[in-house]
Structures are given as C-alpha cells and as structure tokens.
Copies of this chain bind each other. A is one copy, B any other.
Amino acid sequence: MDRMMLLFEIIGTVAFSISGAFVAIRKGMDLLGVLVMGLVTAVGGGVIRDVVTGSVPPKAFTDPGYAGLAIAVAAIAFVIEWKIKKDKSATSQTFEKILFLSDSVGLATFTVFGIRCVQEQLGNDNYALLIFVGVITGVGGGVLRDLFANTVPSIFRKHVYATASIVGACSFLLAEKFVGQNTAAVLSLIITVLIRVLAGHFQWNLPCIEWEKNKE
C-alpha cells in the first residue's frame, strides 16, 4: 500500500498543481502567483486535512518534497503556456481538456488519500469523519484555488464535482471491506474520474433554481 499511496500522492500533486497553475495563468497572475497557486492547489487540501485532524505542522510543510514537486510542475506549466500562447485556439482547447482531466485525477486520488491518513491516525470507526475529511482533502485545494482566484468555488457549480468525491469516498470505504485497500483505491479512482468524465460529456447537472440576475 505504501508505494501505491506514494504514486497516488505524486499523481495528485502533479495534477492539482497543473490545475492551479492554469487558473492562475488565466487570471493573468505573474510567475510567482502561478507557482503559489500551483502549490496551494496541490497541498491545500492536505494542509486543511492536517489542521482539522490536529496533525500539525502539516506534512506539506515538514516534508517539502511534494511542495517542491508542485512548484516545479507549475513552473513547467508556465513555460509551456508561455511558448504556445501565440496559437490561442489550440491553447484554449488543450487548456480546457488538461484542466478538466488533471482536476478529476487530483480529486479522486486526494479523496482516497485523505481517508487513508485519517484511518492511520484516528482509526477506522467513524465513517462520517472519514468521508468528511476525505472529501475536504479532495476538494480543499480546488476551493482555495478558486477563492484566491476570486471566483465562486467550482465545487458549488460544476457538473457533479464534489458529488464525484463523495461517491469516491463511499465506494472506497465500501470496497475495502471486500477487496482490500489497494484494489479499493484503484476502484474508487476509476469511479470518481468516470463520473466526472461522463458528467462533463453528457452535461449532467444537478438541479438548480434560476434566480433573476438583476435582483443582486
């Protein structure tokens, strides 16, 4: 499980850092802003998880490998965007697809990883706590990213975003009873990403009440 979780953490860190860097670039932030947004998106969920579970200082601060990875990935994303920015139409399409997929993979891996951390630290008894902390670890980085980008967090609007994290958390907890943690983690990852991809493709949306804009 240890190597599994290491790989998961790396995938999630890279994916979320790209997602944060691209949002920062789109917002016109400078190089440092892009690096910080990559960092915050990648480690933010884990930092919130560590703070609310009392595991301080957060692992992201004491063990700076993931922070360094996130910063390096954001720097690479900045350079690539810098190179290809002349071909706007290609950039834009590529951008949307990369953002979407990386976001989904990060969401899925961090949800499972958050649950695993709490299981190791506080035990396996309280399912509500496990699901809460798993979902917070999954969506926390993205929520911080969107707050810093001064937009309503996409978790509250996008096609079944947090829903995918919640389903992923539940399916991991259910599956590990029967097939062990490794397989359960892979299953949960596939389910979460699949929900996101299908929701994006078929434009699944949760119900929403149209509110007149001019009442604001």
Contacts and interface: CB of A to CB of B under 8 A. Distances in A.
A82 B216 CA distance: 18
Given A153-B148, A156-B36, A30 B205 contact: yes
Interface string A143-173: 1000111111101110011110000000000
B126 A209 contact: no
A152 B150 contact: yes
A54 B56 CA distance: 6
A149 B152 contact: yes
Interface in A64-105: 64, 67, 78, 81-82, 85, 88, 92
Interface of A: 24-33, 36-37, 47, 51-54, 56-58, 61-62, 64, 67, 78, 81-82, 85, 88, 92, 122, 126, 128-129, 132-133, 143, 147-153, 155-157, 160-163, 205-212, 215-216
Contacts of A160: 32
A156 B211 contact: no
Contacts of A28: 157, 208-211
A152 B148 contact: yes
A79 to B, nearest CB: 10
Contacts of A212: 88
A156 to B, nearest CB: 3
Contacts of A26: 211, 215-216
Nearest to A133: B61
Contacts of A51: 51-52, 56
Contacts of A129: 57, 61-62, 64
